[in-house]
Amino acid sequence: MTRLPVAVLGATGAVGQTFIRLLEDHPWFQLAEVAASERSAGKRYGDVTRWIEGAMPAAVARMTVTLCDPATVRSPIVFSALDAAAAAELEPAFARAGRFVLSNAKNLRMEADVPLVIPEVNADHLALLDAQRARGWAGGVVTNANCAATVAAMALAPLHTAFGLTELFLSTMQAVSGAGYPGVPSLDILGNVIPYIGDEEPKLEREMQKMLGTLAGAAIVPAPFVVSAHANRVPVEHGHTVAMSARFARKPSVAHALEALREWRGADSVRGLPSAPEHPLLVTDAPDRPQPRRDVMAGKGMTVTVGRVREDALFDLRCVAMGHNTIRGAAGGSILNAELLAATGRLGWVPPGRA
């Protein structure tokens, strides 16, 4: 039973490192290639990488960095931790060359034929991949949403399904790891709040409608709600916290909202995937949770925790959602997307035990 070889593009950066950590001992995928720019290509990974968290896996340290190019990277699955500038050219090139690209970059997220996927929420959006053939892509691109949008969308998915979200006010408190490495200077954030994250509010105001939208034929009809977002950076390492007030087409009681949140398991096709947590959402009764330091590793970083579900003076409901920005909101989300591709037969490869 062989594992499928996969590559990480942008492997030396912060998100790339998270991919590498999460792919260690993956039951389906084998990290075969670590790719980066010309500056690092041809060198030992351990020599060109400033490893940020814990210890660098010894096997990876010994790997030779491959140039980020479809001619040199041969794996059928590529996880892209590229920044927007590099992704602009490279991700389409890999798709054209027949690879499936799992992308964290913002470039293609809002393209009509590119699925923006959280498997538990909108696994069916993968159908858009068929439309990518028209681009002349032998492979395809599946994108992740912005990390804070992912956390909010997961908490809202069951509520939107049950009650029809119409208006959403949200204010985030986002971890520094969301800005990559070196990212936020310590002089900017120690004991401080920065009430601004470049280009974050627009993403928060448009990506959720697509994710919570409906597949109609070969297109996504966005969910028709309006979002007002306030994005803030706080001195937290991992875990984006989102305070939300929401209005619905059918006003739910707090009890009904809690029931919808507690019963939600997400799409059937996701259950049992290696990276799928038992509970994509965890609802806490504690008056002062979720908290990033205490709840961020729920479901190995793949579970979003929701708390403080209560009435709102202006809209219908208020609540707080918190999730791991570099796991569920980035690398872990991409890996789950790839597992979904494999499990739904889109790779022409049968995962172990799925015959």
Give the C-alpha separation, 112 to 90, whole Å: 19
Out of 26, 74, 265, 308, the only residue in the binding site for its own copies (CB under 8 A) is 308
Measured in degrees and rounded to the nearest 5, phi and psi for residue 281 equal: -120, 140
Which of the ranges 107-115, 139-147, 212-220, 223-231 carries the binding residues for its own copies, by CB under 8 A?
223-231
Per-residue binding string, its own copies, 201-220, x by CB under 8 A, is: ----x---------------
Whether 147 is catalytic is yes
Binders of its own copies in range 7-26 (CB under 8 A): 14
Which of the ranges 18-26, 143-151, 240-248, 260-268 carries the binding residues for its own copies, by CB under 8 A?
240-248
For residue 237, the minimal CB distance to its own copies (Å) is 5
Q: Which residue among 125, 240, 319, 324 is the active-site one?
A: 240
Q: Residues, the chain, total? A: 355
Nearer to its own copies, 78 or 246 (CB): 246
Whether 319 is catalytic is no
Nearer to its own copies, 32 or 309 (CB): 309
Nearer to its own copies, 97 or 243 (CB): 243
Give the C-alpha separation, 77 to 29, whole Å: 9
Of the CA atoms within 13 Å of residue 109, those in its CB half-sphere come to 23
Question: Cα angle vertex 135, ends 134, 139, to 5°?
Answer: 95
Nearer to its own copies, 67 or 194 (CB): 194
Contacts of residue 132, defined as CB under 8 A and 6 or more positions apart, other chains included, come to 95, 113, 114, 140, 141
For residue 303, the minimal CB distance to its own copies (Å) is 11
For residue 99, the minimal CB distance to its own copies (Å) is 30
E strand or H helix that includes residue 310: strand 304-311
For residue 200, the minimal CB distance to its own copies (Å) is 12
298 C-beta neighbours (distance < 10 Å), count: 21
Question: Cα angle vertex 105, ends 178, 131, to 5°?
Answer: 145
For residue 17, the minimal CB distance to its own copies (Å) is 11
Which of the ranges 26-34, 111-119, 146-154, 184-192 carries the binding residues for its own copies, by CB under 8 A?
184-192
Out of 217, 287, 348, 353, the only residue in the binding site for its own copies (CB under 8 A) is 287
Contact between 54 and its own copies per CB under 8 A: yes
Distances (CA, A) of 261 to 10, 21, 157, 255, 322: 36, 30, 9, 10, 14
Contact between 58 and its own copies per CB under 8 A: no
Binders of its own copies in range 119-178 (CB under 8 A): 167-169, 171, 173, 176-177
CA 173 from chain centre, in angstroms, equals 17
88 C-beta neighbours (distance < 10 Å), count: 13
Nearer to its own copies, 72 or 192 (CB): 192
Out of 115, 139, 140, 292, the only residue in the binding site for its own copies (CB under 8 A) is 292
- Please give the size of the binding site for its own copies, defined by CB under 8 A: 62
Contact between 285 and its own copies per CB under 8 A: no
Q: Helix crossing, 332-343 with 14-23: angle to 10°?
A: 50
Tokens of 185: 């200077």
In contact, 10 and 16? CB cutoff 8 Å:
yes
For residue 345, the minimal CB distance to its own copies (Å) is 36
Measured in degrees and rounded to the nearest 5, phi and psi for residue 14 equal: -65, -50
Out of 61, 111, 181, 346, the only residue in the binding site for its own copies (CB under 8 A) is 181
The string of DSSP letters for 32-55 reads EEEEE-TTTTTSBHHHH----SS-
Q: Which residues bind its own copies (CB under 8 A)?
A: 14, 52-55, 167-169, 171, 173, 176-177, 181-196, 205, 226-230, 232, 234-237, 241, 243, 245, 287-295, 297-298, 307-308, 312-315, 318, 320, 322
Q: Which residues are catalytic?
A: 147, 240
